[in-house]
Structure formats: C-alpha cells, structure tokens
Amino acid sequence: MTILDHAYTAAFVMLGLAVLFTLYRLVRGPSVLDRIVCLNALSVLLVSFIAVEVALRGDTAYIGLMVAIALLGFVGTITATRFAERRAHDRD
C-alpha cells in the first residue's frame, strides 16, 4: 500500500466517524434547528464521501452528482429553516 492509499483510508474513517457523530446529534438534537443543521452536515459529508471516491478511482463521472446533492442540501436547508421560522413565528 502506498501512502496515498493510507490517506484515502484515513479520510474514509474520519468521514465515517463524522457521519456517526452527526447522526447522534440528529437523533438527540434538542431543537428542530439543530436537526436541520445536522441534515445539512450529512449532505456535505455525502458529497465529501463521493469526492474522496472520485479521487481514489480517478473517475470524474460523479462530479455532476456531487453538485446536485450539494444544491439539494442547500435548498433543503433553506426551505426547512424558513418553515421552522414561520412555525416559531406562528406560535408567538
């Protein structure tokens, strides 16, 4: 194994740990906004997983998928935040 293979393995392990911590926070989050941030973080981690896989294989076919997931994550976060804000405003 080369040093680059060790770097890819380390990146996958660290991303996997980040996903586990984020899922824990998603389940245990005290508020809806914490959960929204966790879902955004999960979309970023998914894009990161794909980016490391693209670098590992040297195949750029998944670049479009990465952009689509990033955009969906962003739009979903903005939409959920606006919904949560309106819901909190209606309670007042």
Q: Where are the domains of the chain?
A: 3-91
Position 85 scores a pLDDT of 84
Which of 14, 4, 16 is closest to 55 using CA atoms? 4
Which residue is associated with the tokens 């903005």? 78
Per-10-residue mean pLDDT of the chain, 92 residues long, equals 94 97 93 90 96 93 94 94 82 70
SS3 content of the chain, % helix, strand, coil (to 5): 90, 0, 10
Give the Cα separation of 67 and 58 in Å (integer).
17
Position 3 scores a pLDDT of 95
Position 46 scores a pLDDT of 97
